[in-house]
Amino acid sequence: MNEPQTVVCMKWGEKYGADYANTLFSMVSRNTARPLRFICFTDNTDGLSDGIETLPLPHIDLPPSHINKAWRKIGLTQAAPSGLTGRFLFIDLDVVITGSIDGFFDHAPDASYCVIENWTQPGSGIGNTSVFRLDAGSHQEVYDTLMADPAGTVGRHPNSQTFQSRTISSRVFWPPDWCVSFKHTLVPKFPLNYVRPAALPPDTRVVCFTGYPHPDHARDGVWPEDKWYKRLRKQIRPTPWIEEHWR
């Protein structure tokens, strides 16, 4: 029997509830033809679906200002985060999976780290860590560097994915069509965003939602924005395909 493919996510605090992890598990399960091990690293297991394995959040020291930010994901680069070993695919909670995830395990099989090329920084070598594959312990230098000077490290980098990209010397990017940004890739440019919904490209496998809008906002055609002058441009039409896949 083939070994299961390991997919992991992280859930902490109150920003995302168990429903996000359950929806991700459901989407992953529908979009693989192979045995699956699905793990949620979390500080609260209440409400999680049967079939989701839970592990405690990996240990990490961070300044209070950053403890609930994406810097927590750096904990996954330690030798065996909460005892996990082997190759795993990390996926953020706030994504919509629209195609098979199996290729993420087959792509560049000799690479220890694969990641999205950040949509807003093409050619800079910066990865977006909404979806990345890692061999546990293969890049412990990321964790060790942060732990040697947590406050200084977060102060020198605008975000965790920039730090991770600058610390790992070797990386492989996913094919650009596989992982797209809803707002940076799919939403039509102003003023067409007023009349055209975001289309789903045929080769897309994961649609990522960084910041606003969230998947439910995009589904319903709502872009939360407090500043009136930004609301003039930040408009989206309802996106029916999200309801089809985000469940």
Is residue 167 domain-shared with residue 192, that is, in the same domain? no
Using the 3D structure, point to which of 138, 173, 208 is the last residue of a domain.
Answer: 173
Average pLDDT of every residue of the chain? 96
Is residue 64 domain-shared with residue 139, that is, in the same domain? yes
Is residue 68 domain-shared with residue 110, that is, in the same domain? yes
Is residue 49 domain-shared with residue 73, that is, in the same domain? yes
Is residue 145 domain-shared with residue 200, that is, in the same domain? no
Banded model confidence at residue 183, pLDDT cuts 50, 70, 90: very high
- 32, two tokens: 């693989």
Using the 3D structure, point to which of 152, 173, 194 is the last residue of a domain.
Answer: 173
User: In terms of residue numbers, what domain contains 205?
Assistant: 179-245
Percent residues over pLDDT 70 in the chain: 100
What is the pLDDT at residue 34?
A: 97
Is residue 94 domain-shared with residue 207, that is, in the same domain? no
Is residue 18 domain-shared with residue 39, that is, in the same domain? yes
Is residue 58 domain-shared with residue 164, that is, in the same domain? yes
Is residue 112 domain-shared with residue 226, that is, in the same domain? no
Is residue 221 domain-shared with residue 136, that is, in the same domain? no
Using the 3D structure, point to which of 151, 173, 195 is the last residue of a domain.
Answer: 173
CATH code at 132? 3.90.550.10
Is residue 124 domain-shared with residue 59, that is, in the same domain? yes
Taking the CA atoms of residue 223, residue 225, residue 228 and residue 233 in that order, the dihedral angle to the nearest 10 degrees is -40
Q: What is the pLDDT of residues 137-146, one digit of tens each?
A: 999 999 999 9
What is the pLDDT at residue 58?
A: 97
What is the pLDDT at residue 226?
A: 76
Q: How many domains does the chain divide into?
A: 2
Is residue 108 domain-shared with residue 67, that is, in the same domain? yes
Banded model confidence at residue 169, pLDDT cuts 50, 70, 90: confident
Q: What is the pLDDT of residues 101-125, one digit of tens each?
A: 999 999 999 999 999 999 999 999 9
Statement: the pTM of the whole predicted model exceeds 0.85: yes
pLDDT mean over 159-184: 96
